[in-house]
């Protein structure tokens, strides 16, 4: 069920909208930076009202009604989409700078839309802002509310001003405790990752069927992590469209650095990672860097080759790409691959079944007798190198967790075998239990018997 209210945060650039969003949602979902224009997409979050019920909160990019650069109309379009379904608007202004013409333009714009609007005078912690707050009556949206998004003051008054515009009924919502990471009713969290400008946002838009994310030919367009729910056959998928992750030294300073940090943080909360690669360019070192980072965080992975519509000799190109994977990303040589075109939609239907299979594999709990049978057979076929005088022995193996599957092997070894031997054991389990594309964690522990 959807929360009972939808509240959209709008305002000109650099007035503190994202700081307020993060404060109300108790998160760090939205990027915050001194440089204007950091937020470009709509960012969705959930905020809890003082009475305990919840609302959907939407952060938008800096709203300007005069096109100053290429992003202004795109950002404005995203804000307009959010406002269409809003129950109320938080119109954030900078109390320190006072009313400027852009604020008046936005006030008139919101008045014409007819959406209930509450003027939020931010930065009330600064000297004289509280005294100047009454000036914002002139915007024509009723009594302004003074707050400090940075310090969290004035939020009770903010919620009180929103109360008349939000419904009270909140049946069907659970308490504060959220479903666990492995709750079967929880949407599968899918991060779309890749280097800049390979079509991540275009693929997400194709999956959703509407323009929810900005699409541009300029690398680095996506800065925020955008969550989108897609449902197929009764299963929900939460797609996280992340900023392009570049290698160190290839990232601009300022907001783009923040974007990569946020993308990596959200990758860590995903269940599955889809590595998007430009099929026309092939697998490069930067793709391998992104894949390695996702794999090291324990995400199950599939490789998605986009722009397949641009390829003429597809059989030859498919072989070349498989060779690229074997050379650049050996750890993903068994991962499922999908060839598609986000532009035309061809091949996109194969994605969700693969995501479901990966999620099931990552959650696999192997029966202990079967696990020990497979590992003992593998150990006897190829025992590790001698560690002292005693022959290496495997006493017992147990699975300690899922997502990714993790195992402890109790042996008489004094130290961990060579990494190549650990890789051998991982590959045996991956082949036997059909864990292609799933990272496996194996730890050796010493016991005397």
pLDDT at 443 over 90: no
The single residue listed with the structure tokens 């986000």 is 342
Q: What is the CATH number of domain 188-362?
A: 3.40.50.300
Domains 5-165 and 368-446 share a fold: no
Highest mean pLDDT among 221-230, 247-256, 396-405: 396-405
Find the angle CA(182)-CA(185)-CA(187) to the nearest 5 degrees: 80
The answer, yes or no, to whether residue 173 has pLDDT greater than 50, is: no
Give the separation between CA 235 and CA 14, rounded to whole angstroms: 39
Residue 44 has pLDDT above 80, yes or no: no
* Bridge partners (DSSP) listed for residue 228: 239
- The torsion angles phi and psi of 134, rounded to 5 degrees, stand at -60, -20
Calpha distance 321→409 (Å, rounded) = 36
Share of the chain above pLDDT 90, in %: 28
- Among 187, 192, 194, 222, CA closest to 204: 192
Mean pLDDT within 310-330: 92
Mean pLDDT for 106-115 is 86
Inform me whether the pLDDT recorded for 159 exceeds 80: yes
Strand partners, 440: none
* pLDDT band with cut points at 50, 70 and 90 for residue 219: very low
Question: Which residue's structure tokens are 């943080």?
Answer: 265
d(CA 82, CA 24): 18
Cα–Cα distance measured from residue 222 to residue 204, given in angstroms and rounded to the nearest whole number? 12
What is the side-by-side order of every strand in the sheet holding 406-411?
394-401, 406-411, 441-446
Task: Report, as an integer, the average pLDDT of 339-347.
Answer: 93
Q: What is the domain partition of the chain in residue ranges?
A: 5-165, 188-362, 368-446
Mean pLDDT lowest among 1-5, 150-154, 264-268, 385-389: 1-5
Burial of 238 from C-beta contacts in 10 A (0-12 / 13-18 / 19+): middle
CB-CB contact of 388 with 421 (8 Å)? no
CB atoms within 10 A of CB 319: 11
Give the model's confidence band at 330: pLDDT under 50 very low, under 70 low, under 90 confident, else very high: confident
Distant-in-sequence, close-in-space partners of 417: CB < 8 Å, separation ≥ 6: 384, 385, 387, 444
Class of domain 5-165: alpha beta
Which pLDDT belongs to residue 414?
82
Q: What is the mean pLDDT of the chain?
A: 79
Half-sphere exposure of 220 (CA within 13 A, CB side): 13
3-state DSSP assignment of residue 30: coil
- The rounded distance, in Å, linking the Cα atoms of 197 and 213 is 13
Confidence band, pLDDT 50/70/90 cuts, at residue 29: low
Lowest mean pLDDT among 13-17, 144-148, 171-175, 327-331: 171-175
Tell whether the model's pLDDT for residue 320 goes beyond 90: yes
Distance CA 336, CA 172 (A): 38
The mean pLDDT of 155-172, rounded to a whole number, is 75
pLDDT (average), residues 129-138: 73
Q: Does residue 32 or residue 269 have the better pLDDT?
A: 269
pLDDT at 300: 93
As a whole number of angstroms, the distance between CA 191 and CA 197 comes to 16
Interval 257-278 mean pLDDT: 68
Give the mean model confidence (pLDDT) for residues 370-379: 94
Reported as a pLDDT band with limits 50, 70 and 90, residue 424 is very high
Nearest to 149 by CA among 196, 113, 96: 96
Grade residue 415 by pLDDT with cuts at 50, 70 and 90: confident
Residue 179 CB contacts under 8 Å (≥ 6 apart), including other chains: 185, 186
Query: Containing H/E element for 339?
Result: strand 337-339
- For residue 378, the model assigns a pLDDT of 94
224 within 8 A of 58, measured Cβ to Cβ: no
- Mean pLDDT for 414-428 is 88
Please provide the CATH number assigned to the domain covering 368-446: 3.30.300.20
Give the pLDDT score at 2. Answer: 42
Pairwise pLDDT comparison (423 vs 209), residue with the higher score: 423
Banded model confidence at residue 386, pLDDT cuts 50, 70, 90: confident
């Amino acid at each position: 069920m959807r929360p009972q209210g939808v509240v959209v945060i709008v305002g000109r650039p650099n007035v503190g909208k994202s700081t307020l969003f993060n404060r109300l949602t108790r998160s760090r979902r939205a990027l915050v930076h001194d440089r204007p224009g950091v937020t470009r997409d709509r960012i969705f979050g959930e905020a809890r009202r003082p009475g305990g019920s919840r609302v959907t909160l939407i952060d938008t990019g800096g709203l300007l009604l005069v096109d100053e650069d290429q992003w202004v109309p795109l950002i404005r379009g995203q804000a307009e989409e959010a406002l269409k379904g809003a129950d109320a608007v938080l119109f954030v202004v900078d109390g320190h700078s006072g009313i400027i013409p852009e604020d008046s333009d936005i006030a008139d714009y919101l008045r014409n839309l007819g959406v209930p609007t509450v003027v939020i005078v931010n930065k009330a912690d600064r000297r004289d802002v509280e005294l100047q707050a009454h000036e914002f009556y002139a915007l024509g949206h009723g009594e302004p509310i003074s707050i400090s998004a940075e310090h969290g003051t004035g939020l009770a008054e903010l919620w009180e001003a929103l109360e008349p515009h939000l419904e009270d009924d909140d049946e069907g919502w659970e308490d504060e405790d959220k479903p666990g990471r492995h709750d079967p009713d929880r949407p599968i969290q899918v991060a779309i990752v890749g280097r800049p400008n390979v079509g991540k946002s275009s693929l997400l838009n194709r999956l959703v069927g509407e323009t929810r994310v900005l699409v541009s030919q300029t690398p680095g367009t996506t800065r925020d992590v955008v969550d989108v729910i897609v449902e197929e056959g009764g299963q929900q998928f939460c797609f996280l469209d992340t900023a392009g992750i570049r290698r160190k030294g290839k990232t601009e300073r300022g907001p783009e650095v923040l974007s990569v940090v946020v993308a990596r943080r959200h990758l860590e909360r995903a269940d599955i990672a889809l590595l998007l690669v430009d099929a026309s360019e092939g697998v490069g070192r930067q793709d391998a860097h992104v894949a390695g980072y996702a794999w090291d965080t324990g995400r199950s992975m599939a490789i998605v080759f986009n722009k397949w519509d641009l390829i003429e000799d597809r059989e030859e190109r498919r072989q070349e790409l498989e060779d690229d994977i074997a050379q650049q990303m050996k750890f993903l040589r068994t991962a499922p691959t999908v060839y598609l075109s986000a532009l035309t939609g061809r091949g996109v239907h194969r994605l969700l079944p693969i995501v479901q299979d990966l999620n099931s594999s990552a959650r696999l709990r192997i029966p202990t007798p079967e696990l020990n049978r497979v590992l003992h057979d593998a150990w006897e076929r190829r025992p590790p190198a001698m560690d002292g005088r005693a022959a290496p022995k495997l006493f017992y193996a147990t699975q300690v967790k899922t997502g990714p599957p993790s195992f402890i092997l109790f042996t008489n070894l004094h130290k961990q075998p060579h990494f190549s031997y650990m890789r051998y054991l991982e590959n045996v389990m991956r082949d036997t239990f059909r864990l292609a594309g799933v990272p496996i964690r194996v730890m050796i522990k010493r016991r005397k018997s």
